[in-house]
Amino acid sequence: MSDDRFPGWHGTTILAVRRGGEVVIAGDGQVSLGQTVIKGTARKVRRLGKPGQEVLAGFAGSTADAFTLLERLERKLEAQPGQLARACVDLAKDWRMDKYLRNLEAMLIVSDGMDLYVITGAGDVLEPEHDVAAIGSGGNFALAAARGLMETDLDAEGVARKAMAIAAEICVYTNGALTVERIGGR
């Protein structure tokens, strides 16, 4: 998909793995403009909400757009504590219907430790199969690697780290400078 308004921003791989009662979301640190790496240590995985009601979120796409969406999601979660699915659906509806929001270029992966969703600007709130979800330039590489690694004895973080390392070896828009956040479990 080519859009003249966006000068070829690439450089995100976000992976979520649910296993053993916990969810791990990992994001690489690379941001690229065309063929140039602009930053190698970006933090694309965040914690939202208050302690005890935390939600993990990883984003791909325009940073300003993603922050706008994360702020909106956080407000929805404050208004509907403990109802991640409802907050995600409300955000997706707003994102699709609102004149300003519908132009935002980003995707989100969110989890409260039990539920795991991918949210898109097309109005999708997707619950992934096989307890693995990925978005971004290297998302398909990380997803394939993680799905294969789910057959091993690795814990959620082990699967995420190894799958992200594989994606970084294949995708030129992905690096090994990871931010990894965990929720649930331990």
E strands, 51-127, in order? 55-61, 106-111, 116-119, 125-126
Structural domains in the chain, sorted by start: 9-181 (3.60.20.10)
Question: What sign for the dihedral angle of Cα 67, 70, 72, 75?
Answer: negative
Give the number of other CB atoms < 10 A from CB of residue 58: 28
Q: What confidence tens digit (pLDDT) does each residue in 48-62 have?
A: 988 888 999 999 988
Q: Which residues are catalytic?
A: 12
Split at pLDDT 50, 70, 90, the class of 161 is: very high
Q: Please say if the pLDDT value at position 2 is more than 50.
A: no
Mean pLDDT of 143-170: 97
Q: What confidence tens digit (pLDDT) does each residue in 116-131 have?
A: 999 988 889 999 999 9
